[in-house]
C-alpha cells in the first residue's frame, strides 16, 4: 500500500522555510520508519525545500510512502539549472549575499541530497524549472514496521 501526500513550497518565503521538511519528518516518524531512513530524508527534503525557497518561484512536492521505500518528487517553477553537473559539484553556488549571510550558499545542498539518498534524478529546463526525484530505501537490518497511525497520516 502506498500513501501519498502533497505539499506546496513558496519561493523567497524564508519565514516558513523548513516547515514542509519538518512536517514530512513528523509523518515518517508516525508511520514508524527506521531512524536512519528518517535522518537521510530529513537532510534531503530540507535541502530540496531550501533550493525552492532560494531559487524558484514555487514548488510542488509529492511524498510517496510504502513500507520499504520513500519517494519524493519535487517540481518547481523557476529559472532552472543550465549545467546540472556543475550544480552538483561541492562548493559551487549561485547564492546571493543575503542567502550567504543566513548561512546558506555553501554549495553543499545538492551534494548533501545525492549522498543521503539511494536514487537521485534531476532534470532542468532553463527558464521553466527543475524536477528533482529521489528515493530512500530501508536497508537490510533496518527494522521496518508499519505503525497503526499510518492511515491517519493521510488525513
- Give the nearer residue to other proteins in terms of CB position, either 81 or 104: 104
CA pair distance 146, 65, nearest whole angstrom: 11
120 lies in the binding site for other proteins (CB under 8 A): no
**Is 47 one of the binding residues for other proteins (CB under 8 A)?**
yes
42: contact with other proteins by CB under 8 A = yes
Question: Is 17 an interacting residue with respect to other proteins (CB under 8 A)?
Answer: yes
DSSP state of 60: E
DSSP 1: -
Among 57, 68, 98, 115, binds other proteins (CB under 8 A): 115
Q: How far is the CB of 92 from other proteins (least distance, A)?
A: 13
Q: Which of 4, 13, 14, 86: binder of other proteins (CB under 8 A)?
A: 14
> β-strand 119-125 against 129-137: which pairing, if any?
antiparallel
Site string for other proteins, 71-110 (x = CB under 8 A): -------------------------------xxx-x-xx-
Q: Give 17-24 contacts, CB < 8 A, sequence gap 24+.
A: 17/49, 17/50, 17/53, 18/46, 18/49, 18/50, 20/45, 20/49, 20/61, 21/45, 21/46, 21/49, 24/63
Task: Identify which of 67, 4, 7, 1 has the alpha carbon closest to the alpha carbon of residue 31.
Answer: 67
Residues that bind other proteins in the complex, under the rule CB under 8 A: 14-15, 17-19, 21-22, 25, 39, 42-43, 46-47, 50, 102-104, 106, 108-109, 112, 115
Amino acid at each position: 500500500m502506498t500513501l501519498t501526500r502533497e505539499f506546496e513550497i513558496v519561493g523567497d518565503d524564508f519565514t516558513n522555510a523548513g516547515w514542509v521538511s519538518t512536517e514530512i519528518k513528523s509523518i515518517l516518524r508516525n508511520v514508524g520508519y527506521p531512524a536512519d531512513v528518517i535522518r537521510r530524508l530529513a537532510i534531503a527534503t530540507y535541502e530540496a525545500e531550501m533550493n525552492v525557497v532560494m531559487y524558484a518561484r514555487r514548488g510542488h512536492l509529492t511524498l510517496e510512502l510504502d513500507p520499504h521505500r520513500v519517494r519524493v518528487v519535487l517540481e518547481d517553477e523557476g529559472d532552472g539549472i543550465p549545467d546540472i553537473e556543475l550544480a552538483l559539484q561541492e562548493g559551487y553556488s549561485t547564492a546571493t549575499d543575503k542567502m550567504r549571510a543566513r548561512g546558506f550558499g555553501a554549495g553543499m545542498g545538492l551534494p548533501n541530497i545525492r549522498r543521503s539518498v539511494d536514487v537521485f534524478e534531476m532534470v532542468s529546463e532553463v527558464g521553466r524549472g527543475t524536477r528533482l526525484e529521489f528515493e530512500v530505501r530501508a536497508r537490510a537490518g533496518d527494522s521496518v514496521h508499519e505503525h497503526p497511525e499510518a492511515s491517519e497520516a493521510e488525513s
